[in-house]
Structure 1
Amino acid sequence: MRILFSRGSGTARSAAALAGNRFQCGRKQRERVVVIMGATGTGKSKLSIDIATKFQGEVVNADKIQVYRGLDITTNKMPIEERRGVPHHLLGELDPAAGELPPAGFRSLARGAVERIAARGKIPVVAGGSNSYIHAMMVDRYDERENPFAADYAARHRLRCRSCLLWVDVEAEVLAEHLDRRVDDMVGMGMVEELERYFAGEQPPPEERHPGLGKAIGVPELREYFRIRTAAAYEEAVAAIKKNTRRLAVEQVRKIVRLGEMGWPMQRVDATPVVDARLAGRGREAEAMAWERHVLGPSLRAVEQFLQEESKRQRPLSPF
């Protein structure tokens, strides 16, 4: 598959050279950013950590539910022990009682995070499934009155960061089965108990006191169960969580395709073999091999090529 990159200025030539590199945001130079998109459950968080580890990067979360503190199981935040020491920004940092963070607000916060990461000579790795956030952050001009994902939206804004865009994708039927199993795993990890404590908190209801976090899948679906506590209500709630998670994945893919139609240069990496190995129970070794071959390998090559191309752009011309 041909790899396309958006236009922009340079980074260091190799991972080792990045440590001494300083990025400036201005007319002559813009930050270099790796952006990882994809539907929920495709492995974006894992890939962001792998890339950040390889290229001395730091991760910026672009999930509109995970930006808030609380409900770590329900919102499927990456546990600290699995982050391998990679710094994460905008992950569980915001007070959910402060109100819902709109795309324009994320644009400002993410820009600050990217600039601070770049100033330390690191590579910002943006990862998340909220494509409205990613769009707001990446375009040079943002108008909150516009809906870039509408069918009749025709504007094409330039990307304001030099960027390597990766789309982690999984075939729809395979992903749907994986997401159903993931909900079962989350329930087994204590999702229902976590939400029970959440609903037992202060009044008013979660959706009113936490307008952003209260929209997490699981919060509205389990409300009725906690009221009547019957087996039928429980089964209905879990089924609704699975259904709405699958719907979310379909909508996320639709928006990514829409960004591609608007000219965003991205490379698709197919994580279907990884999920297939997991669903078939082939073991961790088989899953790791599939990840290395189909997701991590192509992604690392894409980022390496991006950095090399950027290094050539930045290299001063010889006077001779």
Structure 2
Amino acid sequence: MADPLVVIYGSTGTGKSDLAVELAARFNGEIINADAMQMYRGLPIITNQLNPEEQRGIPHYLLGNIGLDEEPWSVTSWKREATKIISGIRSRGKLPIVVGGTSYYLDGLLFDEKLVESDPAMTEESEAAAKITREELASQHPILRESAEVMLAKLQEVDPVMAERWHPKDIRKIRNSLEIYLTTGRRASDIYAEQRARKEAKRAGQPPSPWNLLLFWLYAKPDVLNARLDKRVDKMVTNGLVNETSSVYDYLQGRLAAGETVDRTKGIWQSIGFRQFESYLSAVKSTETETPQAVLEKLKQQGIEDTKTATRQYAKYQVRWVARKTIAALQEENLLSKFYLLDSSNISQWHSEVAEKGSFLLAKHLADRPLPRPEELSETAREVLANQLERSNRPETICNKTCEVCEKEFRIEEQWQKHLKSKKHQKATRWAKRQAEGWPTRGEGKRDKAEGTDDDAAADADADDDGLVPKP
């Protein structure tokens, strides 16, 4: 078989790195990391890197290769380096296996047309922009330091099509679209239109992908995965998470004291496990006042709980990315027949349901033998994949609605309907009703607040409303 490539998607805690090692050991493979946080050096606990024993002597690339003082890699930079490494692995007669939870890295590797959407500030359209840090760019264009409202007004002026797509409070996406225009002189909407035209041209006779792909998606049911992630955070704390975050905190304070500017909107500063303990570390290291031990302990426990909440939310975000973006892209490229969901919900059955099934499929793939249909692999695969295919084929309806109770705005009708059905909205509605009627509300508001929020309005819906959990 010419140029086989194995790609493993999956949210944190599903065992995707373990599967990569298992397949590499059985099929003479080497592994390329596609987790943006695991590229940082000296932070194995925060970033959940496999230790040397767990790596079992298998070569791993792009793992712990970036220092804290280096600029974070864009998806373009990662793809360029990963492609070189893949060629090197093949030249040695071995099987390249790419694994990671940063799905936009993986999508950027597989789908050329996804690069702009995945990493808008660092695109192939502007190599010059890739050399400019976000801080330097903001110095050249002060509007990039303004509020979401101000930047959206500018975006409506220069690229009304993109302005219409974004939620008015989604400052990251608004800024990214504006950065594309300011660094390239071209509208992001025009770039996307050209990409769609190139895609149509490719379908009309362009040669197929140079890679013979086999793709895995490690998936665990949300309730099971959430409990697993909570236990993993406890284990990370036992293994020295606080000490590791303390070192990162000292490093950051040293740079700030030296007058350096640190962009904390990207890179390791956004890692789960650092931000959540920052209040605790600040109190511990304060020389101005001595914080009582009871207060320190409370801050530490809050850091642990916040890390658990953020980890659960991130896992949900990772699942939604694959379900909504990767599957749609695979469908466009006619690659869904090579995309296999492996159910890692039951950890006691991980070997049979993940390692053995993955090895069985890869053996058939390398031997160029017929593969089973992805939905035949398990009941979970059938349910989840069918739900997501049905969803991806459903056109989105544009709307402009505001939930006065939750103070959120929506541009997609489907997201609005999900929000109305979500538990958070229903709790908020009950809370508002009780306040209006003068009912006692002690405790309920605290519980709602403790649950946290997701990155965008659509995430208000429960996982099963999203079609990501098999029906009972």
Q: TM-score range by the shorter chain?
A: 0.7 to 0.9
Q: How far apart, CA to CA, are the structure 2 residues paired with 1:148 and 1:222?
A: 28
Partner SS state of residue 30, structure 2 = strand
Taking the TM superposition and a 5 Å limit, the aligned residue runs for 1:217-296 are: 217-229=272-284, 230-257=296-323, 258-262=325-329, 263=331, 264-265=335-336, 266-274=339-347, 287=348, 290-296=349-355
Q: How far apart, CA to CA, are the structure 2 residues paired with 1:297 and 1:207?
A: 49
CA distance 1:268–1:66, shift in 2 (3 Å): same
Q: How far apart, CA to CA, are the structure 2 residues paired with 1:118 and 1:65?
A: 26
Taking the TM superposition and a 5 Å limit, the aligned residue runs for 1:162-177 are: 162-177=212-227
Amino acid at match of 2:270: K
Within the candidate set 234, 239, 249, 1:199 is matched to 249
**Larger C-alpha radius of gyration, 1 or 2?**
2
How big is the shift at 1:148? 9.4
1:74–1:191: 8 Å Cα contact kept in structure 2? yes
Q: How far apart, CA to CA, are the structure 2 residues paired with 1:38 and 1:207?
A: 34
Q: How far apart, CA to CA, are the structure 2 residues paired with 1:207 and 1:88?
A: 32
Taking the TM superposition and a 5 Å limit, the aligned residue runs for 1:68-217 are: 68-139=40-111, 141-142=112-113, 144-147=115-118, 159-201=209-251, 202-204=254-256, 208=262, 211-217=266-272
Amino acid at match of 2:226: A
Gaps of 5+ in 2: 121-164, 167-188, 203-207, 285-295, 371-472
Partner SS state of residue 217, structure 2 = strand
CA distance 1:144–1:34, shift in 2 (3 Å): closer
Q: Deviations over 1:285-308 (max 9, x none)?
A: xx3xx2221111110011111111
Amino acid at match of 1:243: T
CA distance 1:299–1:197, shift in 2 (3 Å): same
CA distance 1:96–1:228, shift in 2 (3 Å): closer
Q: How far apart, CA to CA, are the structure 2 residues paired with 1:304 and 1:106?
A: 28
Report the structure, 1 or 2, having the larger helix content: 2
Taking the TM superposition and a 5 Å limit, the aligned residue runs for 1:24-35 are: 31-35=3-7
Partner SS state of residue 39, structure 2 = coil
Query: Runs ≥4 in structure 1, deviation > 6 angstroms?
Result: 148-154
How big is the shift at 1:212? 1.4
Partner SS state of residue 295, structure 1 = helix
CA distance 1:240–1:131, shift in 2 (3 Å): same
Partner SS state of residue 36, structure 1 = strand
Q: How far apart, CA to CA, are the structure 2 residues paired with 1:44 and 1:171?
A: 15
Partner SS state of residue 204, structure 1 = helix
Amino acid at match of 1:174: V
CA distance 1:119–1:207, shift in 2 (3 Å): farther
TM-score w.r.t. the length of structure 1 is 0.77
What's the C-alpha RMSD, in Å, of the aligned pairs?
2.7
Amino acid at match of 1:145: V
**Percent of residue pairs bearing the same amino acid type:** 28
2:344–2:353: 8 Å Cα contact kept in structure 1? yes
Gaps of 5+ in 1: 1-9, 12-30, 275-286, 312-320
How big is the shift at 1:261? 2.4
Partner SS state of residue 91, structure 1 = coil
Moved more, 196-205 or 125-134: 196-205
Which gives a bigger RCO, structure 1 or 2 (Cα 8 Å, sep 6+)? 1
1:138–1:160: 8 Å Cα contact kept in structure 2? no
2:74–2:119: 8 Å Cα contact kept in structure 1? no
Partner SS state of residue 163, structure 1 = strand
2:279–2:299: 8 Å Cα contact kept in structure 1? yes
Amino acid at match of 2:24: A
2:6–2:214: 8 Å Cα contact kept in structure 1? yes
Q: How far apart, CA to CA, are the structure 1 residues paired with 2:210 and 2:276?
A: 39
How big is the shift at 1:159? 4.9
CA distance 1:159–1:37, shift in 2 (3 Å): farther
CA distance 1:181–1:159, shift in 2 (3 Å): farther
Q: How far apart, CA to CA, are the structure 1 residues paired with 2:357 and 2:306?
A: 35
Residues 1:301 and 2:272 are matched in the alignment: no
1:59–1:126: 8 Å Cα contact kept in structure 2? yes
Q: How far apart, CA to CA, are the structure 2 residues paired with 1:167 and 1:192?
A: 31
Partner SS state of residue 96, structure 1 = coil
Amino acid at match of 1:110: A
Amino acid at match of 2:255: Q
Q: Deviations over 1:111-157 (max 9, x none)?
A: 01111101111000111100010011112x24643249999999568
1:208–1:214: 8 Å Cα contact kept in structure 2? no
2:108–2:118: 8 Å Cα contact kept in structure 1? no
How big is the shift at 1:234? 1.1
CA distance 1:48–1:228, shift in 2 (3 Å): same
1:42–1:169: 8 Å Cα contact kept in structure 2? yes
Q: Deviations over 1:211-250 (max 9, x none)?
A: 5122211111111111124122112111111111111101
Q: How far apart, CA to CA, are the structure 1 residues paired with 2:306 and 2:68?
A: 24
Count of matched residue pairs: 268
Q: Deviations over 1:90-126 (max 9, x none)?
A: 0001223220111111110110111110111100011
